[in-house]
Amino acid sequence: MIVGIDLGTTNSLIAYFSEEGPRIIPNRLGKNLTPSVVSVDEEGNVYVGETARERMSLYPGSVAQTFKRSMGTERDYVLSGRHFRPEELSSMILRALKEDAESWLGEEVTEAVISVPAYFDDKRRKATKRAGELAGLRVERMISEPTAAAVAYGLYDKTQDTRFLVFDLGGGTFDVSILELYHNILEVRAVAGDNYLGGEDFTEVMARLFLQKRKLQLQKLDEKEQVRLYRQAEKAKREISGKDQVVMSFLYQEEMLEETVTAREYEDACEELLMKIREPVKKSLSDAGLKLGDIDEVLLIGGATRLSLVRDFLIRLFRKFPDTKLNPDETVALGAAVQAAMKERREEVREVILTDVCSFTLGTDVVVEYEEGRYENGRFCPIIERNTVIPASHTERLYTVRDNQEKVCVKILQGESRFSKNNLYLGELMVEIPRAPRGQESIDVTYTYDINSLLEVEVTVNSTGEKQKMIIKGQENQMTDEEITRRMEELAYLKLQPRDFEENRLVLLRAERMYEEALGDRRKKLDHYITAFEAALDKGEHDEIVDAREALNEILEKEDD
């Protein structure tokens, strides 16, 4: 069974293709969204999703979130004294989703199509693939999130040529993609975006507003208070959509503080974020050689597009109402499931050719002559430009710059800067050449890039015909197959919480968090119901546990309004 997975910054989802079309698979708590949050306790128990998020209020040092933003980096997360890389934390999310799918479907899940932001570079895509492998999944294909959204909307079934702009503002990343449909080919024309812009930033604005009004400083809050602040800011951010104002409350040093934030104040404070949204839109249109008027449809995906201030801004920007008929949180996962069905060659899905583009320019380091006999080292020579439709293969001929030069080092780089040092180093090839006066010997450097983000570099010495070739699979410190296997074994010692235990654990964590945030009579009431639930758990009678849990849940829902 091949499934589709949206591995998100804030929430993740898993879907499969059924006889009725793509369907989201609910998690062990019966919900479609699994928060992309991981917690590890002192005993090595792993909590994933909503349970992990509740632990953040009580044990902030044991929880990690928004680690998708750090995918492909060397950032180290320390949870209860254990060290993890971003892809290892992501693998725990994927493993939980895999278990949920296997329980729901009643069969083993062996392979997944995983979505990635269109603006993810090579190392981030490879880190995502490693996360899948660490979770026990084969990941032969990844799909960019905008392409997945277009597939979910059924754009490939349209009968006329159409241009679409897919606006994807998730919890932590932002992508703009322009796609064009002609015949049965769905082609990505251009992508742009920001890996560090998303709904979390709009939450931070609300938190800052509250602090400013109360003349408080974030650094003077302890860890638990910071978690409580951002939880309430997230709640206020959601509530203010469509309203004139919202009241945000926050427990600070045993005192409940309240402040009213108006919609105008919040929108003014978000102006800088809205301006940051404009640039990738302009860049993608420019790269595609189009104007806003050339776009036939605008699709919104990503949970942050639910914010009324974002939607109002986009209506003014695009001068048309975007298409929002699908749930923006679920669109990418549904599209990934359709792509999985295409990979399985399911008869229910009409085959469509999906093309993608190279998100970043690929090139090499060269020496340039800027005056007669004067040279400058460290300049970047593009070979495959960004937004080139892939698969693609381009060749650049380079000449020697020194007399009797014996070797040429071809550095493989990715980025947009004129200077090599500012771009991402992927690897290098060293080739020997015959000694000759400068400019008489040359090499052909050929880059071939495919839809699976594999870059083949071939260097040919033109005078001798000698060739050297290498495949770039990721950054220079990529884990080998043996290292992946060894790390999988190490991570296996960490224990995901049993499915039947998690619902009870989640209710207790939520109750404990709300008890800490409450005062006076509310605390007494919560304590009564928590104690009753714990007593039922100690007795172990299933019916009593269910009744006590429902009673506690009912109180929690009322008190959390």
Is 145 among the catalytic positions?
A: yes
User: DSSP strand E in 361-423: where?
Assistant: 362-371, 374-384, 389-390, 392-399, 407-414
Please name the residue that has the structure tokens 């309240």: 258
Kindly name the residue from 6, 87, 88, 502 that is annotated as catalytic.
6
506 vs 52: CA distance, rounded Å: 8
435-470 burial by CB neighbour count: b if 16+ within 10 A, else e?
eeeeeebebebbbbbebebebebbbbbeeeeeeeeb
Reported as type and span, the H/E element at residue 269 is helix 263-269
Tokens representing 424 are 């991402």
The residues that bridge with 143 in the sheet, in sequence order, are: 115
Kindly name the residue from 50, 68, 99, 503 that is annotated as catalytic.
68
304 vs 193: CA distance, rounded Å: 15
Contact 128, 186 (CB under 8 A): no
Is 512 among the catalytic positions?
A: no
290 vs 296: CA distance, rounded Å: 11
Is 538 among the catalytic positions?
A: no
What DSSP designation does 498 have? P
Kindly name the residue from 121, 145, 194, 200 that is annotated as catalytic.
145
Residue 85 amino acid letter: R
Let me know the angle formed at the C-alpha of 330 by 140 and 64, rounded to the nearest 5 degrees.
75
CA dist list (Å): 188 to 118, 170, 349, 427: 10, 20, 20, 27
Kindly name the residue from 50, 122, 168, 503 that is annotated as catalytic.
168
Sheet of 495-496, strand order:
63-65, 37-40, 45-48, 495-496
- Give long-range contacts, CB 8 A cutoff, 24+ apart: 550-558: 552/507, 552/511, 553/507, 555/525, 555/526, 555/529, 556/507, 556/510, 556/511, 556/514, 556/526
**Residue 135, CB half-sphere, CA atoms under 13 Å: how many?**
31
- The helix/strand/coil state of 275 is helix
Tokens representing 218 are 């974030």
Tokens representing 400 are 């020697």
Q: How far is CA 170 from the centre of its chain?
A: 8
Instruction: Write the secondary structure of 177-206 as one string of H (helix), E (strand) and C (coil).
Output: EEEEEECCEEEEEEEEEECCCCHHHHHHHH
Q: Which residues are catalytic?
A: 6, 68, 145, 168
